[in-house]
Structure 1
Amino acid sequence: MFTTLVFHEIRPKNEISSGARPILVADGYHDSLPMPLYNSLDFFCELLSYLKDAGYYFLSLDEVKEFYYENKDIPAKSVLITFDDCYQSQKKYAYPVLKEMGIKAVSFEPTGWVFEEEQSYKEAFSQVLSFKELEEMADVFTYANHTHHFHQREGIEKSRIMWESEALFIQDLDECNLQVEEKDVFAYPFGLYHQDNVQTLSNLNFKLAFTTEPGINTRITPPLELHRNIVMEGLPIDKFKEMLGEQK
């Protein structure tokens, strides 16, 4: 079994204290990143240090595929680190920490949000990186499909993949796959989807798809509905251990 963790914005505490901020993306979509998706840099480092010191094994996507499709074993204490949306803070703050600690991670890339040209860091926005900057972090991050232009929502219960036709969803997946390395791995935008979307991914031979439903992934977890855990800022270490599946 293994736990998947998902992060969005990693920032110093003084930046987080100013509150939620609007996103700034290449295709012009307007939204605001909810505060539960921000983690302080200190807390992020604390979590990673615990995982390293406790002897956790950091999985790759290939190893997760082998776990489900080739019945291969993984270490008893295994974790998969993921990021969503490719914000500037991923490069400025998270990438140096991960690189120094020798930890690999997965980044789910909404390619329609990614800028063609690099831009200066904007503290007041959750701004997405450029393609060049993503390439520069490829020694740490593996990039996978998070839609092209379909990372949009209506309220908190419906995402664009749920209201568009299957044909347009497939077209959008194909457009994203032109830019990402992992073409059979997907993360549902905002964690919102319905079973028709799962079936579409299956028909297209996607191997893995990640929700934001918390929990531990086991042999019997559907590989196209894998659990991912959002780590709230300041989560007590005993609760973090529970999230990892450690016995009390």
Structure 2
Amino acid sequence: MKLRVGLILTLLLLAGCGQQKATKTATHTAPKVTATAHKTRVKVNHGQKRIPLRKWHKTAGAARIPILMYHDINVGNTLQMPRTQMQNQMHWLKDAGYYFLSPQEAYIALTQNKLPQKKVVWVTFDDGYRSMYTQGLPIFKQVGAYVTINEITDSLKLRNHVDMQQLLALNKATGATVNIESHTVSHLDMNKLPMQKQMTEMVYSRGRLQQWLHTEITTVAYPAGHYNQDSVIAAKKAGYKMALTTHPGLATASQGLLQLHRVRVNPGLSKQRYLELVATGI
């Protein structure tokens, strides 16, 4: 049934695109959106030791988790984190006893109100900058971290973004676990697009990544945090279980799994302020 729904959705999208003039989007090869989900491969990366679900504990109330939002490991502006600071922050998390969540674990935490331990964190990087491979991966291996990169699928040919070889290497890295999730095809403001175009951006991105990586893509980060109610509907129809915004604060299921809040991390934070930010979300 899932395969039939996925194929119908893809055919509808292609029919809609055919009514418009030829555009960049219209040239994409239609991905098998749901078929690859049946071939999901289990990662064997040796990062931080996993706590099996049977040992997770129920939270007193709704689970609240910090989803950290980073972009580039570089210098220049508030979206760029210098390498030394990034290295320090990952070690601060490890030394403070934080458990690095994968997207799948974050979903369980939010939907079942269970945690593997009291201190958890989901570390996310938007855009897929090349520094993820050149600067980030060695740091993640040092710490044994689990991190998530939200990839713009049309960015692989850009000079300062990861290329296909680097993306695959990140996904298969040992000593750390790097999960690749979606940041749409073109990084357009979703709230400025008609519903059909939003669907195309989300469906093609998810389908491409599932074909390339042979793993299920469960999460999309709205570009620049710009979205509307159509975006939420489109994300759900495209098959995503979670969607990330730029609304500040800790994430909880009451926000809606397709409108989860994140904690923006700016450069220049002291250890005390950084750990306070992670703990409180503000």
What TM bracket, shorter-length normalisation? 0.7 to 0.9
Distance across 1 between alignment mates of 2:207 and 2:278: 34
Equivalent residue number for residue 231 of structure 2: 197
The 8 Å contact of residues 68 and 278 in structure 2, kept in 1 or not, is answered as no
Equivalent residue number for residue 183 of structure 2: 146
Equivalent residue number for residue 134 of structure 1: 167
TM-score, L = length of structure 2: 0.69
- Residues 1-248 of structure 1: matches in 2 within 5 Å? 1-11=64-74, 16=75, 19=76, 35-115=77-157, 127-138=160-171, 139=173, 140-149=177-186, 151-152=187-188, 159=189, 161-180=190-209, 181-245=215-279
Match of 1:135, as an amino acid? L
The 8 Å contact of residues 3 and 245 in structure 1, kept in 2 or not, is answered as yes
Match of 1:136, as an amino acid? A
Distance across 1 between alignment mates of 2:203 and 2:151: 13
Cα deviations across residues 175-228 of structure 1 (Å, max 9, x unaligned)? 111232443311010111112211222344421111112211234332111111
The 8 Å contact of residues 37 and 230 in structure 1, kept in 2 or not, is answered as no
Distance across 1 between alignment mates of 2:193 and 2:154: 16
Distance across 1 between alignment mates of 2:263 and 2:110: 19
Deviation at 1:114? 1.1
Cα deviations across residues 67-122 of structure 1 (Å, max 9, x unaligned)? 2334433421000111111111111111111012111111101101112xxx9xx7
The 8 Å contact of residues 144 and 185 in structure 1, kept in 2 or not, is answered as yes
Distance across 1 between alignment mates of 2:123 and 2:178: 10
Distance across 1 between alignment mates of 2:179 and 2:132: 13
Distance across 1 between alignment mates of 2:185 and 2:239: 18
TM-score, L = length of structure 1: 0.78
Deviation at 1:56? 0.3
Distance across 1 between alignment mates of 2:275 and 2:96: 10
Deviation at 1:174? 1.8
Q: Secondary structure at the match of 2:78?
A: helix
User: Which ranges in structure 1 are unaligned for 5 or more consecutive residues?
Assistant: 20-34, 153-158
Q: RMSD across aligned C-alpha pairs, in angstroms?
A: 2.0
Number of aligned positions between the proteins: 209
State which structure, 1 or 2, has the greater radius of gyration over its C-alpha atoms.
2
Distance across 2 between alignment mates of 1:179 and 1:212: 24
Identity of aligned residues (%): 28
Distance across 2 between alignment mates of 1:179 and 1:203: 16
Distance across 2 between alignment mates of 1:9 and 1:66: 28
Distance across 1 between alignment mates of 2:218 and 2:195: 17
Q: Greater helix percent: which structure?
A: 2
